[in-house]
Each structure stands twice: as C-alpha cells, then as structure tokens.
Amino acid sequence: MPAMMQSLGIDQLSREERWQLVEEICQSLFNDPGDFLSLDQMEELKECLEDDRRNPDEGSPWREVMARLKAE
C-alpha cells in the first residue's frame, strides 16, 4: 500500500469509507467549473442548460442514446 495511504490512516478505512472519501475528494476538486472548463466551454454549457430549461421535452435520456449507439 502506498506510504501516503498508511501515513494518513486511509488503509484503516473500510472499502465503503474509502469510496466515500474518494467522492468527497472529487467534489472538492470540482466545486468550481472554472477550475477545469475554459470560459468558452462554460458559456456553451450555460447555453445548453438554458436550452434544456426552455425545451425540457426535447432530446433523449442518455440510456436511450446509449441503447441506440450500441444497436448500430
């Protein structure tokens, strides 16, 4: 096991507790979309979200899209 896991006591956590820690770390890394999206990407995302709010019945759920892609 890596030394950091041992020095932080992570190796003593249960599997479930380690997954919870991973989730918390990921959330802390991506709290601000500006940390990983360019301004252009953030603007495009905002436009997509606004379009979705204006037209909630358009588009397809991701499961349907994935099923169609797998069928091709």
- Residue 7 CA, chain-centre distance (Å), reads 28
pLDDT band at 72 (very low <50, low <70, confident <90, very high): confident
Which residue type occupies 25?
I
Residue 16, pLDDT above cutoff 90: yes
Chain-centroid distance of CA 14 in Å reads 23
29-67, pLDDT tens digit by residue?
877 777 778 889 889 989 998 998 999 888 888 899 999
Q: How many CA atoms lie within 13 A of 32 on its CB side?
A: 4
Per 3-state DSSP, the chain is made up of helix, strand and coil in percentages (nearest 5) of 75, 0, 25
The confidence score (pLDDT) of residue 42 equals 86
pLDDT of 1 reads: 61
Closest by CA position to 26, among listed 36, 41, 38? 36
* pTM attached to this predicted model: 0.44
